[in-house]
Every structure is written in C-alpha cells, then in structure tokens.
Chains A and B, each alone.
Chain A
Amino acid sequence: MAAPMSELSGWFPALAIGVTFLKCLLINTYHSTDFEVHRNWLAITHSLPVSQWYFEDTSEWTLDYPPFFAWFEYCLSHVAKYFDKEMLVVQNLSYASPATILFQRLSVMFVDLVFFYAARECCKTVGDNKAKEIIGKPSFALAALLVWNFGLLIVDHIHFQYNGFLFGILLLSIARHCQSRHLEGALLFAILLNLKHIFLYIAPAYGIFLLRSFCFTSNNSDGSIKWRSLSVVRLAALGTIVLSVFALSFGPFIAMGQLPQVVSRLFPFKRGLCHAYWAPNLWALYNVADKALSILGVKLKVLDVDTLPKASMTGGLVQEFQHSVLPSVTPLATLICTVVSITPALLHLWFRPSGARGFVRCIVICAMGSFMFGWHVHEKAILMAILPLSLLAVESKEDARTFLLLTTTGHYSLLPLLFTAAELPIKVLLMVLYTLFTFTSLKTLLSKEGSLLSTVEGLYLAGLVPLEVLCEWVYPLTTWQGSMPFIPLLVTSTYCALGVTYSFIRLYLSLLRGQGVKHKDKSQ
C-alpha cells in the first residue's frame, strides 16, 4: 500500500529546495562542450526554418536528437532572447557570455521540476514500513536518493545536460504503470522516445510488458497467458497513442521528404567502439584484454610488432579502433550481443509476468544490457539503470545490495568527466556524502543487523578510495603523467567495469530466481 504522503509533504519541498540551492551554487562551475551543443541547437531552432534543422552543419555539433527535443529547444529559445540575443546566432560558435550561462543553467534547473514531480509520484507507489520517524521510511529514502542523485547533479548541473527532465519523464511513466494508469505511461514513454532516442534500448521491455500485462487482460489459473483474453480495444488504444505521437514528431519531416537525413543524423555509426573516456562496460575489458595479450605476445615473440595496427585505442576523441589480437568488433556484433543479453529478461517478462515491479526490473536489465554491450556507449548511460533501480532498492534487500554496488561504481566512473582542479573538492565531497547517505539509509531500512554487502564487495568498494587518491593526486605528480596520460582513465574504466559487470550478473540472477514476485502487486 502506498505511503502516506502527508508526512512526506513537509520534507519533500525541503529536499527539492535544498538541492535547487546547491544547483544555484554550481552555476559558474566548469561546463563541457555539451553546453555549446545546446546553445547551438537553440540558435538553429530559433534562427532557421524547420526544413533546415537537420541539414544545418555550420557547427560540428549537429542536431542529433529527435524532433520533439528540437521543438523543446525552440520553446526555450523564445525565453533565451530576453537574456542574450547573441547566443541565438548560429555563427557565434562557442559563445558563452555570463547571461548565456545563467540562462542555460536556469533552464536545466527549471525543467528539473518535471523530475521532482516524477520522484514524488514514485514515492507514492512505494510501500510503507513501521518506522515512527519520517527519516526511517522508504518514501523518504527514495525521495532523497532520486532528488539528490549525485550522478544526475554533476552530469546535469556541472557537465551540462538535460537528463533530469528526460529521466523525470521516464520515472513518471514508470510511476503511472505502477499505479495501473497504463495508457498515460505509454503516452509518456512515446513522448520520451521522441525526445531522446537512446531510450529505444528499453523500448522492448515496454512493448512486452504492455502487450502481456495490459492487452491480455487475464491469465490462466497457472499464470500462463490466456490468448482469448486479448482486448482489442486496449491494443488499438495503445497503437493509436504511439502512432499519433510519432506522427506528430516525424510527420513534418516525412512530408518534407527529409526522413533519411533525419535518421542518418540520429544514428551516426561512424563513431568508434568506445568513447574517449571508456565507459566501464564489457568492451573496456575487451580492449584491455586485447592490449594485454598483444604486449604479452610481443614479449613472448609470438607476434611481430610491425604487423600490429598503429591506431591507438587510447588516444584522441572518437577514432576507429582496431584490435590486435582479439577479433575487431563491428556495430552489428554489438547489436547482436545486446539483443542476446536482454532476451532472457524479456522472455521472463512474457512468460512469468510479475506486475509493475517485474517490469521495472526488466527495464533496468535492458538498460544495463545495452550499457554493457552497446556501440559507442557513454558512461552517462549508467544513469538509465541507476535511477529505476532506486525504486527497487528501497524495498528489497537483494536489490539494495546490487544498487549499492552499481551506484557507487557507476558514480565513480563519472568522476573523470570533471577534470578541472576547481571541481575536484566539489565532486569528491558530494560523492562521499551521497555514498554515505545511500549506505546508511539503505542499511537502516533493510538490514538492521549486519551489513548489506559481503566482505569481498565491501573490499572492492573500499578499493575505490585508494584508486581515486592514486589517479587524481599521486599519478599527476609522477613522471609518467607526460608519457602515458591515459593510464588513470584506463585503470578507472577497468576497475569500474568489473563492478558493473558483477551488478549485471546479480540482477539477472535475482530476476531468474523470482525476486519480483516478493512484492505484493497492485497491477495484475
């Protein structure tokens, strides 16, 4: 049953206002090239007609999000003109006046209201416990974990992106499904897909869940599917909603015959297997293994140095990689791997549906599968797994354990995004505070006696501290900083990849062991 919101109603605004104050203080911190990306898009959508939006390439940061995001930037640009008209000129590349920075940062903070609303809705769906103080309740813990999420804070409000807004829509959609308002949830997800197409990775989970649990209205007595209970009305309603949203979004471009161009902008496969800072996924481990084997091979005189490809995997921004010993990886191969990794979860969702909680679990697994095996994955994508997992973590001990591991390693892998000296204390202190809060609150909620993690897991996480000291403080002062500057990033990626892979396996095991059925469902 849902938690009484009356007790949370005093604390939730306090949490939201507190984090907003913190975001205000971060206005003048370092921002990455993503800032220029969004400024450019403001300029494109404001100054050019719709027919030019996906053709414009004065700047290297071309529009590569779906049309709804372009319309979003268009709406923002109408407010932007009151701050500084110059930012809306397409030719003003890398324009960053104080008014521009203020406007962009405020816009991110403003649309975070969507995220706050979504978090509040999610808190309503979480069960209650017998704690007397509001601080001991799961809804409070979830509110704090979501609203003060460290990864979201540094990616959105320092590095600069609009993830809070997008994840807000995702969480709201999930909350609607938990509240059995499936049509609204589907509508929200369709809108989300047209805002950022990376969410295609979790679309299979949505598809299977809605088909199985919404279109087929009842099950047989043994839980298997009752084919005759297919509700054509519901299916038609879903189809109409999804198709009309897509029509609204892509319709103008299809009418102008620009669909191929738009698609080519949305799915640029020319980029390499790994981003410049390797995301801690399987390919990072693969690259390291390849490098290690090649060095070993040269040492053992099995391989000839001259036959090895010269392109370095570790230099430059977005280059093509060629592996020396292990077979090279193509985009098709990664797609096949991703599909193979998420298929068992989808099949489980079809054959053994376990309500909304099972659906959330499947979403997390799809997100993680795409993170582990996808092409050109950015480490920010780990947030797509961490945020929905928070919903599961405050209710189940197993999920809390996985959450602790995934969140800590995932957030740690985001630290290299902020590499300036001034941001170092901010990111370290915020991460320490958030991690401490996560550990203490989940322990208080779910495991009064003993710790949540096993010894090995605890040691692994504790190892992050010396790793950070080595990479950020000790290594730059040594002589190797000049000759091999990529070593800290490589070590960070590899270390975190181990944690992320382990979490992925744990999640799968908990799914297959039927964890999702533990919680009493409301949406069957």
Chain B
Amino acid sequence: MGSLVQFIFRYLNTTENDLNYWGLDYPPLTAYHSLLCAHVAKLINPEWVELHTSRGYESPAHKLFMRATVLVADILIYIPAVVVYCLYLVEGSTKKKVTTIFCILLYPGLTLIDYGHFQYNGVSLGLALWGVVGLGLGWDMLGSLAFTLALNYKQMELYHSLPFFCYLLGKCVKQGLSGRGLLLLVKVAVTVLVTFALCWLPFLSDSHQVLQVVHRLFPVARGLFEDKVANAWCSLNILIKIKTLMSTETQLSLSFVLTLLAVLPSSIKLFMKPTLWQFKLALVNSSLAFFLFSYQVHEKSILLPALPVCLLLSDLPLMAIWFLQVSTFSMLPLLLKDGLLLPYVVTSLAFLYFSLFLLSGLQRATDEQLRLQPYHALFSSILPCLPRFNLGRITKWKFVVSVVLMACLSLGIVVLEPPAQLPDLFPVLVSLISCSHFLGFLLYFNLLQLSEAPARRSSKKSN
C-alpha cells in the first residue's frame, strides 16, 4: 500500500510524471494494471522499470515481456468474454457458435492496434463485453459492475455508457417504478457508485487530486480533432476550416449538440424497448455517433463501434464484415506509421476470406436477410413511381466495389508518391472514404433499430 500511495502522487504533473513524455492519462484501473505488470517486470529485470533511465528502453526480451502482458490480459479478459457471449447469446448450432467466435477473434483492427501499435484495448473492450453478456443473461448487477470497471479502465468507454444507462433505466421503468423496478434501479446505482469509489479510493482524500485526474482524462485543451480522423469534423474541415474559424467554446458546443442529436433517436428507442437486440444496435449507433461527431476523437476510437458490430456478425454477416473491414482500413495511415503494412494486408485478407466463407456472407444477402425493408418504404414514399429494386443484390455489388476501392487505395498509398502540393492526399482520401462509409452505416443501423424488429427472434430474448 505504501508503494501505491507513492505511485499515485505521480498523477500530478510533476517532473516525475511529465505529460510531455507519455504521462499517465487514463483512469485509475489502467494505473493499477501497469503497477501489477511493473512488479512482475521488476522480478525479471529491475532495469526495465527505473523511472527516468528506462525511457525508450527496448531490448528484445523487454519487448517480448510487454507484448506478453497484452496477451495475458486478452487471455484472461477479452477471449473468455467472446467465448461466453457466443456460446450463450448466439442462436444456432455449435458449429455456428464456434465459427462466430473464430470470426470475432479474427477481427484485424483490434489485433493490429493491441499487438502491433501496442495498447490494452482488449481489457476495456473485454470488460465492456462482459457487461453486455451480464445484461444479456439477466445478471444486471454483474453487468453493471463489469461496465463500470471498463469505464474506469479507459474513459473512451463513455461512448458505450448511454446505451447501458438507457437499457437499464428502460428495464426498471418496464418493471414498474414502484416495486421491482425501483429495487433494480437502486441495486444498479449502488453497484456503480461503490465500484467507482473503490477504484478512486487512493485519490478521494484530496479534491485537488480528483480534479487533476479528471483534467488528465479529458484534455479539452487539445482541440476538435488531431491528425486525420475519419469523422465528420475532419472531413468538414477540408471544405470549411472550422478548426480555425471558430473558437474552442463554439467548437465544443457544436460537437456536443450534434452528437446529442445523433444519439437521441437510438437512445429513446432503446429506453422504450429494452431488449438485447435493441441494446446491441444502440451500442453501435451510440458509439458510431460519438465517433463521428464528438470532440477530440482519435482514429483508434473506431474500435468502440467495432466491438458491438462484431456482436452482430452472426445476425448480419455481410454488413458487419463490411463495417469491420472499413474500420480497419480507416486506421491504415496509423498502421503504416508503425510499419504494419504486411500484417494489415494479411489479416484483412484472412478476415474477409474466412468470415465470408464461414458465415456465408455473400449467400445470406437477400433483402429480407439484410433487413432492407425500411429502404423500400423510404423510396416508395419519396419516389413512388420507381420500380422495386433488388436491394440485396445492389448491396452486394456495393460491398464488392467498396472492397476493391479500399484495396486500390491501400496499394496506392504504399506505391505512389503524393503530389507535392498535396502531401497529405492519401491520408485525407482514406479518412474521407471511411467517413462516408461510416455515415452510411450510421443511417443503416439507425433505420434498423428504429424500424420494427422482425418476428424471427425467439421470445426468450426479451427480458
């Protein structure tokens, strides 16, 4: 405990925890995880964890150790979550469940970022997935506990928090606000508060420390976006230089309002109808809306919508595979900077090939299977004279064209030199194309959630 107290002082922006040298800017649980890894590292080789002298230290054994910690964390948290989810919450034969596990684990984006770029997204996403599993199986308190832990690991999980909130609140209301519903509400609230308190315990003694941590977690000084991100602001910036035109406060309010507008329909629908299917779609919609319109979004945040889309692989294989591939593609400039071209190409090809083969993505693409009825309704209301298209076939062709386009652009970004007056041409193209895809997906998933759910789903899912 003594070393823990010493450790927490390093949150303060002193020379020991210099923000300029990758200072700690994640919530407390990440800090505790790092402490645990540091203790193990010290057993193996104390040189690895010296405070200042180990900056930039990179021997092969040390690299192996750090990568191994990611693997251990995944084996303990993320992979079991995926397995349990598929075994209990996916309908179908054992073969279908196992192939779904395989395809989810094959998703290139998470593997490349966690193991190539090096991060611990598997922990926060795994904990969030445990939250989904808990809620899906009816264990609301455990689900809330898991999600709160996820929140305390990475603040980006706030993208997922609105659906969790609306789902639980909607469930409480459905069960009657006086009686069982109220009891559930109280239980969940207590779980969340206690978990927060336990995680932040070392810092609660001093309000100054709490503020400092919060200041680290939400760096509003950094601006609307950084680098080239596939979200609406970055794309808009190409036409209208909003970053320079508007002041920081205006930018903040604009992004806040737009995000809220984008998230509102989905959250309200979930509140009115708290089922697992609605919950999964709401997770997608909410995190995608946050990604597109929120403040200071990083490219890696696309992993947050990607996780719930992975959960939709068994229901909507083609659309899920398409989204997941675009999400990996959107991170291409970052991956190239890390020298991950070969793994990117191989894992993307492997993912596309095996998911389409095992989940019969291209075969299960009729209008009904892709839930495209709302589009027919939309078209017939706007242009009643047009004949009824085979939207399923059109979607398949759009998918093929899109994949070819992404492949060509990936090839181009490696082989071709950008013209001198447009040095950022390729990253901009990548983010523009990805952004347009994401906007299309936002529309699709919102329509899907807002239209009536098909009767195909078995009644035991509604809880």
| A residues lining the B interface (CB < 8 Å) | 10, 14, 17-18, 21, 24-25, 27-28, 133, 420-422, 424-425, 477
Asked whether, in the complex, the Cβ of B64 is within 8 Å of the Cβ of A24, the reply is no
Asked whether, in the complex, the Cβ of A425 is within 8 Å of the Cβ of B64, the reply is yes
Q: A24-B342, A25-B342, A27-B342 are in contact. Are A14 and B64 (CB under 8 A)?
A: no
**Closest beta carbon of chain B to A479's beta carbon, Å:** 16
- Which segment of B269-277, B346-354, B386-394 sits at the interface? B346-354
Task: Kindly supply a per-residue 1/0 record for chain B positions 349-361, scoring 1 wherever the CB is within 8 Å of any chain A CB and 0 otherwise.
Answer: 1100110010000
A421 to B68: give the CA distance in the assembly, Å. Answer: 11
Q: A27-B342, A424-B64 are in contact. Are A21 and B350 (CB under 8 A)?
A: yes
**Closest beta carbon of chain B to A172's beta carbon, Å:** 27
Asked whether, in the complex, the Cβ of A420 is within 8 Å of the Cβ of B60, the reply is yes
| B residues lining the A interface (CB < 8 Å) | 44, 60-61, 63-64, 67-68, 71, 95, 342-343, 345-347, 349-350, 353-354, 357
A103 to B342: give the CA distance in the assembly, Å. Answer: 14
Asked whether, in the complex, the Cβ of A14 is within 8 Å of the Cβ of B343, the reply is no
Asked whether, in the complex, the Cβ of B350 is within 8 Å of the Cβ of A421, the reply is no
**Closest beta carbon of chain A to B185's beta carbon, Å:** 45
Residue of B nearest to A17 (CB): B353
7 residue pairs, one from A and one from B, having the closest CB atoms = A21-B350, A24-B346, A421-B60, A421-B64, A21-B346, A421-B61, A25-B346
Of listed B64, B67, B95, residue having the most chain A CB within 10 A: B64
Asked whether, in the complex, the Cβ of A422 is within 8 Å of the Cβ of B64, the reply is yes
A422 to B71: give the CA distance in the assembly, Å. Answer: 14
Q: A25-B343, A27-B342 are in contact. Are A18 and B350 (CB under 8 A)?
A: yes
Asked whether, in the complex, the Cβ of B346 is within 8 Å of the Cβ of A422, the reply is no
Asked whether, in the complex, the Cβ of A28 is within 8 Å of the Cβ of B342, the reply is yes
A421 to B64: give the CA distance in the assembly, Å. Answer: 7
Provide 9 A-B residue pairs closer than 8 Å at the C-beta atoms, listed in order of the A residue. Answer: A10-B357, A14-B354, A21-B347, A25-B343, A25-B346, A25-B347, A425-B67, A425-B68, A425-B71
**Which residues from A are CB-within-8-Å of B347?**
21, 25
Contact of A21 among B44, B64, B349 (CB under 8 A): B349
**Which residues from B are CB-within-8-Å of A422?**
60, 63-64
**Which residues from A are CB-within-8-Å of B357?**
10, 14
A24 to B346: give the CA distance in the assembly, Å. Answer: 7
Residue of B nearest to A13 (CB): B357
**Closest beta carbon of chain B to A503's beta carbon, Å:** 32
A420 to B357: give the CA distance in the assembly, Å. Answer: 36
A18 to B347: give the CA distance in the assembly, Å. Answer: 10
**Closest beta carbon of chain B to A376's beta carbon, Å:** 32
**Which residues from A are CB-within-8-Å of B353?**
14, 17
**Which residues from B are CB-within-8-Å of A420?**
60
A25 to B347: give the CA distance in the assembly, Å. Answer: 9
For the A-B complex with A421-B61, A424-B64 known, give 12 more contacts whose Cβ atoms are closer than 8 Å: A10-B357, A18-B354, A21-B346, A21-B349, A21-B350, A24-B342, A24-B345, A420-B60, A422-B63, A422-B64, A425-B68, A425-B71
Residue of A nearest to B43 (CB): A477
Residue of A nearest to B353 (CB): A17
**Which residues from A are CB-within-8-Å of B60?**
420-422
**Which residues from B are CB-within-8-Å of A28?**
342
**Which residues from B are CB-within-8-Å of A14?**
353-354, 357
A27 to B345: give the CA distance in the assembly, Å. Answer: 13
**Which residues from A are CB-within-8-Å of B345?**
24
Of listed A10, A21, A133, A422, residue having the most chain B CB within 10 A: A21
**Closest beta carbon of chain B to A468's beta carbon, Å:** 16
**Which residues from A are CB-within-8-Å of B44?**
477
A425 to B71: give the CA distance in the assembly, Å. Answer: 10
**Which residues from A are CB-within-8-Å of B343?**
25
**Which residues from B are CB-within-8-Å of A17?**
353
A10 to B347: give the CA distance in the assembly, Å. Answer: 21
A27 to B342: give the CA distance in the assembly, Å. Answer: 9
**Closest beta carbon of chain B to A171's beta carbon, Å:** 26
**Which residues from A are CB-within-8-Å of B71?**
425
**Closest beta carbon of chain A to B243's beta carbon, Å:** 39
A10 to B360: give the CA distance in the assembly, Å. Answer: 12
A70 to B357: give the CA distance in the assembly, Å. Answer: 40
A421 to B66: give the CA distance in the assembly, Å. Answer: 12
Residue of B nearest to A133 (CB): B95
A21 to B176: give the CA distance in the assembly, Å. Answer: 54
A10 to B354: give the CA distance in the assembly, Å. Answer: 12
**Which residues from B are CB-within-8-Å of A133?**
95
**Which residues from B are CB-within-8-Å of A27?**
342
A233 to B380: give the CA distance in the assembly, Å. Answer: 80
A61 to B349: give the CA distance in the assembly, Å. Answer: 38
A477 to B61: give the CA distance in the assembly, Å. Answer: 12
**Closest beta carbon of chain A to B236's beta carbon, Å:** 38
Of listed B61, B342, B346, residue having the most chain A CB within 10 A: B346
**Which residues from A are CB-within-8-Å of B349?**
21
A337 to B63: give the CA distance in the assembly, Å. Answer: 48
A425 to B63: give the CA distance in the assembly, Å. Answer: 12
Residue of A nearest to B339 (CB): A28
A425 to B68: give the CA distance in the assembly, Å. Answer: 8
**Closest beta carbon of chain A to B385's beta carbon, Å:** 44
**Which residues from B are CB-within-8-Å of A477?**
44
**Closest beta carbon of chain B to A23's beta carbon, Å:** 9
Residue of A nearest to B61 (CB): A421
A21 to B60: give the CA distance in the assembly, Å. Answer: 25
**Closest beta carbon of chain A to B42's beta carbon, Å:** 14
Residue of A nearest to B349 (CB): A21
Residue of A nearest to B95 (CB): A133
Of listed A10, A14, A133, A421, residue having the most chain B CB within 10 A: A421
**Which residues from B are CB-within-8-Å of A21?**
346-347, 349-350
**Closest beta carbon of chain B to A475's beta carbon, Å:** 14
**Closest beta carbon of chain B to A473's beta carbon, Å:** 10
**Closest beta carbon of chain A to B111's beta carbon, Å:** 11
**Closest beta carbon of chain B to A147's beta carbon, Å:** 15
**Which residues from A are CB-within-8-Å of B63?**
421-422
**Closest beta carbon of chain A to B134's beta carbon, Å:** 30
A424 to B65: give the CA distance in the assembly, Å. Answer: 11
A10 to B67: give the CA distance in the assembly, Å. Answer: 36
**Closest beta carbon of chain B to A423's beta carbon, Å:** 10
**Which residues from A are CB-within-8-Å of B346?**
21, 24-25
**Closest beta carbon of chain A to B336's beta carbon, Å:** 16
A28 to B44: give the CA distance in the assembly, Å. Answer: 27
**Closest beta carbon of chain A to B75's beta carbon, Å:** 11
Residue of B nearest to A10 (CB): B357
**Closest beta carbon of chain B to A419's beta carbon, Å:** 12
A421 to B342: give the CA distance in the assembly, Å. Answer: 21
A8 to B357: give the CA distance in the assembly, Å. Answer: 14
**Which residues from B are CB-within-8-Å of A421?**
60-61, 63-64
A180 to B343: give the CA distance in the assembly, Å. Answer: 44
**Which residues from B are CB-within-8-Å of A18?**
350, 354
Residue of B nearest to A476 (CB): B61
**Closest beta carbon of chain A to B86's beta carbon, Å:** 18
Of listed B61, B63, B67, B350, residue having the most chain A CB within 10 A: B350
A24 to B61: give the CA distance in the assembly, Å. Answer: 24
**Which residues from A are CB-within-8-Å of B67?**
425
**Closest beta carbon of chain A to B234's beta carbon, Å:** 31
Residue of B nearest to A23 (CB): B346
**Closest beta carbon of chain B to A361's beta carbon, Å:** 35
**Closest beta carbon of chain A to B439's beta carbon, Å:** 32
**Which residues from A are CB-within-8-Å of B95?**
133
A21 to B350: give the CA distance in the assembly, Å. Answer: 7
A14 to B349: give the CA distance in the assembly, Å. Answer: 12
A422 to B60: give the CA distance in the assembly, Å. Answer: 7
A291 to B346: give the CA distance in the assembly, Å. Answer: 49
Residue of B nearest to A27 (CB): B342
A429 to B71: give the CA distance in the assembly, Å. Answer: 12
**Which residues from A are CB-within-8-Å of B64?**
421-422, 424-425
**Closest beta carbon of chain A to B142's beta carbon, Å:** 31
**Closest beta carbon of chain A to B209's beta carbon, Å:** 39
